[in-house]
Structure 1
Amino acid sequence: MTFSASPVFPSRRLGAAGLAALALALTAGCSGGGSNNGGATDGQVSPPPPAPVFAAEIRRTGFGVPHIKAGDEAGLGYGIGYAYAEDNICLLAGHIATVNGERAKYFGAAGATGMTGAANVQSDFYFRLVNDADAVAVALKAQPAEILALLKGYVAGYNRYLEQTGAANLADECKGQPWVRKLAEADMVKLVRGYAAVGGVGQFVEAISGAQPGGPLPRAGVRASGPIGPPVAPVQEVARNPMTPEYWTRLHARSGSNAVALGRDGSDNGQGLLLGNSHFPWSGPLRFYQMHLTIPGKLDVMGASLAGLPLVNIGFNQNVAWGHTVNTSAHFTVFQLQLDPADPTKYLVDGKSRSMLRKRLSIDVLGADGVLRSESRELYVSDFGNLVQIPGMLEWKNGVAYAVRDANLDNHRMMEQWYAINRAGSAAELKSAVLRLTGLPWVNTLAADKDGNALFLDVTVVPNVSSAQQASCVPAPYKALAAYGLFVLDGSKAACDWALDPAAAQPGIFAAAKLPALSRGDFVQNSNDSAWFSNPEQPLVGFPAIVSVEGIALSGRARLGISQLQARLAGSDGLAGKRMSMAQMQDMVLNNRVYHAEHTVDDLLRLCAGGKTALADDGSSVDLTQACAKLAAWDRHANLDANLGLVYFAGTWDRIGGDDSVWAVPFDPADPVRTPRGLKVADTLVAATVRAALASSVRDANSQGWAADATWGSIQVAKRGGRNIPIHGAADQYGVYNAIGSAPDGKGLRDVTEGTSYLQVVGFDKNGPQAQAVLSYSQSTHAKSPYFADQTERFSQKAWITQAYTEAQITADPAYSSKKIAE
């Protein structure tokens, strides 16, 4: 097995042509009386062995970042697949089982998937439905040659690492496990389809996998495929409810992001400056992976990508840097179907009956006794998408049923889109590529280039539902949801189906030119709000609600980001000048200001004068003395040294933050950055509500046993083996730009679950891109890897890492190593 790209014996598998050449050479070498001409006889020269199909060089620098160089896409994919497997083969192998609908087979019915949060059985039926053979074949056929080459190469590289290492020698997390197997190109397509739909029908997994005429499907006993075992008790599958605006607000908070692009009028040197601050889960397939990809003369891009994707999702090249934020556009709609009175599996459109497609699916389920049993279901598909059922809201009875259709399941352009972005020569070229392909699934794009152009694009795959259709096609009970971009349409009328626009990249979506876009010389920003207030000087208005909603309250993160940008460019933040430097942008994202605390803690302290004790929500009397003292001493930041004032505020805000009646100054659409603010402390009812919330927060904190001098860094940690690494930042709902979510571990600590993940600040100067970045949870998910916790330690210290991008920087790195692979 060779690690050389040399043409001499370049492959582990010679193939038919190679074997023939080798046989010829051996025959020539063994014949008597031959001349000394390299083994040939009678003047014949043996043909050289064939050139490798895949060849790449993997060079690593500090913190395990691979710089992968190849002569073509096949070789590049090969290097990516191999490098990723070295660091995360267990993570990707588990995710491949997910998108193939095989979690219950290997992990049993209990447990949930990392991508959708659904239980294994529901997840398996969902993925068997959306990733059926026909859909995967269509998606694979739609890929251009360059993408196919990347996929083939990735599969070959991953498989090479697996074969070379051996299942018994893999990382402990998956050593010898049956769910670790070789990949095929179809697996990669299923992976991409899973990512594409995670912002749409991927949130309806239970509702799709349990939909049945007459009521939701209870989980029946399963039929044994091996020895007869004990029956499995029926369990009701409870669906989440993604049919509320609050559900999507919470989802965006857990998997959102901040991004800022400064142009020539905003950066200190007049060239572009970009912040990308992704907020994604710290475990599971939505983890980012850093890499640098090079095809000389064609591609030179660096950044981070989701598991299994052979391209950079967020990053920079020599000309332009970009980031993404999860957008608020809807990528699916629900259709209310009028059932045919003669058959609940038929429905009427303009009075004509149509039959649902009935699909019988089977999965294997591993029982607690170790026996595999087969479970089957019949699921249904209409012309308006998969049938769906949410008890109490979307029911399949009384003459109606509901279907959900996701535009991204027909979006086969995702990888082609990111490849075009990776090669963009400017913000204008990047914009042109996005408008041409419209392949981004559910993210805004913000970009800054070396010439000082700043760009915002909310151009994604969005169902073409006009404002007129919103008025005429949404049944009355669902009108309020439509105002937030969450659509239920009347499926009994063909006129209520998604409109066709010949200029659109696929049938039934908006043409890119009709979606929000903004180019500026000062700044654009987004923190998972709609496109509306990307720059306060130029609001983006007039779009259908399914695309962008205007005139609604901004998140605390957005208000904090905009206010910091405005203060810096106005020179009113106490710093010199009216431009932003890279260092100032780094401080902006990691200063850990708690925006809502800045506007409410003074009022909380006023309420402390209302008495030493207050009643908590369980009726218990709580002493507020320590809490009020800590709140007074707290600097209103979520840094490691923050005292318990942060904890007391957070618990209070969890209880009152969603109550608009507590605000002294209510939301004003004409002043969305500064409103709402302040607590209505003069109102007796509000004062009592807030004091009770504070008392409840103190009671909860006391139950954790924290010492009076405890700091945030001693409470919120990332667990890495036997180490607890202190982590700064706090949850999105408090208005912290560095959003970090954590959950109690039952032992007095809060373990980080999501938030700031791949963090980059990229500027440009005469020497090209200058990038500082950190991957908060580190490169590898393998506990024994040297790259398991190294960047997490750096993130804890707010210690940014200079990214090695040029050849000189790469080869000069103290941790530099190189490996050549080929076959």
Structure 2
Amino acid sequence: SERIAINQNQFFQSADLVLGSNAFAVGPKKTDDGSTRLIINSHQPLEGSLAWYEAHITSEEGWNMMGGLFPGSPFIFVGFNDDLGWGFTVNKPDLTDIYTLDINPKNKNQYLLDGLWVDFEIRTLKLPTKLFGPFKWTIRRKAKYSKHGPVFETKSGVYAVRFAGMNDIGQVEQWYRMNKSTSMEEWLEAMRIRSIVSFNAVYADKKKNILFLHNAASPVREESIDWKNSVDGTKSALIWNELVPLEQLPLIINPSSGWLTSNNQDPFKVTSEENNLNPEDYSKTLGLQTRMTNRAYRAIELFNAYDVISEETLMDIKFDNQYSKDSRSYKYIETIFKETFTDPDFKEAQAVLKRWDLKTNFDNRSATLGVCVLGPEWLAEQNNQDPPKPLNVFKKCVKDIKKSFKRIDPLWSERNLLFRGNKRVPVQGGPDTLRAIYGRVQENGQLRAVAGDGLVVLVEWDRNGVLKSKSIHQYGSATQDENSVHFDDQMMLYANEQMKDTFFNPDELEKHSETKITIP
């Protein structure tokens, strides 16, 4: 409903979901000093089991990898070693198909396939359930499977679902081989395992290579069929078993532009226009996304604006906190400019929006209202829904902000904060800016940052292949220990958009190690 759609709490309550990511690679053709640089910036919740934990894994057998993982993982998910590194961003390829089944009217446990009635495979599913205290119970349910996959019996019919990653347990091997790769060829060979069924990858290495890959375990589908809808389940020829080769997915290696950016956007808009791939060269059955994010618009604008990019310029791009005039967000807000108001609060608020420079910096007095208005549009697009009417959103935001702050234009630093224990620190950035901060509304009207920029890593190989790296975490390495100095010792650096040394070099690590634990 319109009433639910414009509730800003609905928007910000969803902010603890995985919302997006950034990854950038800049090669010697674009850098000021011949270096190759990579920024890893996947967006996750700032707390909980899916928050980034920074780790450095080494072994006596040549495993030396640093980056981000989730607690419990034996591998680095995004990061770098001596020779190469990569970042991942979420993509949305079409990896699932639904088949309409024709059921035998005389036997509900049979379906039609190639003119014959075929028995469903009946499996017993066991669901261990904890009741209370030491008591547990195992629930057992019968489930049907066809040659296509698991079967769902609904009021509208019987359907089977087929997913590209179904029954694949090769992810462990693929992560391991990516971690141990020492060259672009080895890394691509690891990606050919295809058990990691999605994610865009942005890669760079010490040999001055950069690449973008729209990774997807996309099945080889019959080109004449409309796979956007459910398909005929009576033909075994439509049950796919092979994957599209990696080389037939969008893949750009060493573009002449010298740069690549991935921000959860159309995979055919990741570098300069002349270096982008042509979508007509790829199968329509891949179901590739066509959406553009504000982060993608801004990144492309900024990379195109510079002839050469230094380390400092690259970090400025990463921490950019502005909305693009090409973005859906701006076009949504722009509709408010044409309205005529008699209410003095609405007139004042309209003026606040009109003079917004679209930035979300500390001393900005238009960002609080602007971000509030664009939020529900962003959420609707994420959920494949039509956005609520801008005027209704605008009026509600004005009333809510005035109630919380006694004025329509509080400073963004008063609205947007990072919380940790009893600490409150203002942060720049906002939803879908390159400095990505997604907040949850508190009772006093402040936004508590709950997702977005967490672990940020800068990796650089100079023209001679010498490695340098920096990183920052939103809180610190002691993510759960409130009594540790490292529970929040990176918080101010993070809020000030500063990086720290990683001490990746063994000698540096030895000098800066606080504690050593030997496990027998």
TM-score (normalizing by structure 1): 0.55
2:212 to 456, 481, 501: 456
The Cα shift of 1:592 comes to 0.9
Partner of 1:324: 88
User: How far apart, CA to CA, are the structure 1 residues paired with 2:332 and 2:100?
Assistant: 46
Partner of 2:341: 611
In structure 2, relative to structure 1, the CA distance for the partners of 1:467 and 1:819 (3 Å cut) is same
Instruction: Check conservation: 1:744, 1:750, Cα contact below 8 A.
Output: yes
Partner of 1:212: none
Instruction: Map residues 282-361 of structure 1 onto 2, 5 A cutoff.
Output: 282-296=46-60, 298-352=62-116, 353-361=118-126
User: How far apart, CA to CA, are the structure 2 residues paired with 1:647 and 1:789?
Assistant: 26
Is 1:804 the equivalent of 2:485? no
1:647 to 343, 357, 368: 368
User: How far apart, CA to CA, are the structure 2 residues paired with 1:375 and 1:412?
Assistant: 25
The Cα shift of 1:588 comes to 0.6
CA deviations on 1:444-474 (whole Å, 9 max, x unpaired) are 2111122321111123322332433x34xx4
User: How far apart, CA to CA, are the structure 1 residues paired with 2:103 and 2:172?
Assistant: 39
Instruction: Map residues 2-401 of structure 1 onto 2, 5 A cutoff.
Output: 254-296=18-60, 298-352=62-116, 353-366=118-131, 375-388=139-152, 396-397=154-155, 400-401=157-158
In structure 2, relative to structure 1, the CA distance for the partners of 1:659 and 1:422 (3 Å cut) is closer
1:557 to 290, 295, 304: 295
The Cα shift of 1:604 comes to 6.1
CA deviations on 1:30-63 (whole Å, 9 max, x unpaired) are xxxxxxxxxxxxxxxxxxxxxxxxxxxxxxxxxx
Partner of 2:396: 696
Is 1:531 the equivalent of 2:270? no
The Cα shift of 1:314 comes to 1.0
Instruction: Check conservation: 2:18, 2:43, Cα contact below 8 A.
Output: yes
Structure having the larger proportion of residues in strand: 2
Structure having the larger proportion of residues in helix: 1
Instruction: Check conservation: 1:257, 1:326, Cα contact below 8 A.
Output: yes
The amino acid that maps onto 1:563 is E
The amino acid that maps onto 1:543 is Y
3-state SS of 1:647 partner:
helix
3-state SS of 2:360 partner:
coil
User: How far apart, CA to CA, are the structure 2 residues paired with 1:294 and 1:791?
Assistant: 24
In structure 2, relative to structure 1, the CA distance for the partners of 1:262 and 1:767 (3 Å cut) is closer
The amino acid that maps onto 1:528 is N
Partner of 1:821: 519
In structure 2, relative to structure 1, the CA distance for the partners of 1:544 and 1:785 (3 Å cut) is farther
3-state SS of 1:445 partner:
strand
Instruction: Check conservation: 1:332, 1:462, Cα contact below 8 A.
Output: no
Instruction: Map residues 572-651 of structure 1 onto 2, 5 A cutoff.
Output: 578-596=307-325, 599-600=330-331, 603=334, 606-607=337-338, 610-613=340-343, 623-632=345-354, 634-643=356-365, 645-651=366-372
The Cα shift of 1:612 comes to 3.8
The Cα shift of 1:497 comes to 0.7
In structure 2, relative to structure 1, the CA distance for the partners of 1:427 and 1:581 (3 Å cut) is farther
- Which structure has the greater CA radius of gyration? 1
User: How far apart, CA to CA, are the structure 2 residues paired with 1:692 and 1:295?
Assistant: 58
2:196 to 402, 420, 440: 440
User: How far apart, CA to CA, are the structure 2 residues paired with 1:544 and 1:745?
Assistant: 47
The Cα shift of 1:739 comes to 2.2
User: How far apart, CA to CA, are the structure 2 residues paired with 1:659 and 1:719?
Assistant: 27
Instruction: Check conservation: 1:607, 1:691, Cα contact below 8 A.
Output: no
The amino acid that maps onto 1:593 is Q
User: How far apart, CA to CA, are the structure 2 residues paired with 1:339 and 1:602?
Assistant: 51
3-state SS of 1:260 partner:
strand
In structure 2, relative to structure 1, the CA distance for the partners of 1:345 and 1:527 (3 Å cut) is farther
Instruction: Map residues 741-780 of structure 1 onto 2, 5 A cutoff.
Output: 741-765=438-462, 766=464, 768-779=466-477, 780=479
Instruction: Check conservation: 2:16, 2:451, Cα contact below 8 A.
Output: no
The amino acid that maps onto 1:518 is I
User: How far apart, CA to CA, are the structure 1 residues paired with 2:430 and 2:60?
Assistant: 42
Instruction: Check conservation: 2:201, 2:214, Cα contact below 8 A.
Output: yes
The amino acid that maps onto 1:810 is L
User: How far apart, CA to CA, are the structure 1 residues paired with 2:298 and 2:337?
Assistant: 24
User: How far apart, CA to CA, are the structure 2 residues paired with 1:430 and 1:706?
Assistant: 56
User: How far apart, CA to CA, are the structure 1 residues paired with 2:380 and 2:488?
Assistant: 40
User: How far apart, CA to CA, are the structure 2 residues paired with 1:821 and 1:705?
Assistant: 54
- Count, aligned residues: 491
- Greater relative contact order structure (CA < 8 Å, 6+ sep): 2
Partner of 1:224: none
CA deviations on 1:214-254 (whole Å, 9 max, x unpaired) are xxxxxxxxxxxxxxxxxxxxxxxxxxxxxxxxxxxx99983
Partner of 1:516: 250
Partner of 2:170: 413
Alignment root-mean-square deviation, CA: 3.2
In structure 2, relative to structure 1, the CA distance for the partners of 1:703 and 1:543 (3 Å cut) is farther
The amino acid that maps onto 2:470 is Q
User: How far apart, CA to CA, are the structure 1 residues paired with 2:319 and 2:396?
Assistant: 30
3-state SS of 1:292 partner:
strand
Instruction: Check conservation: 2:435, 2:453, Cα contact below 8 A.
Output: yes
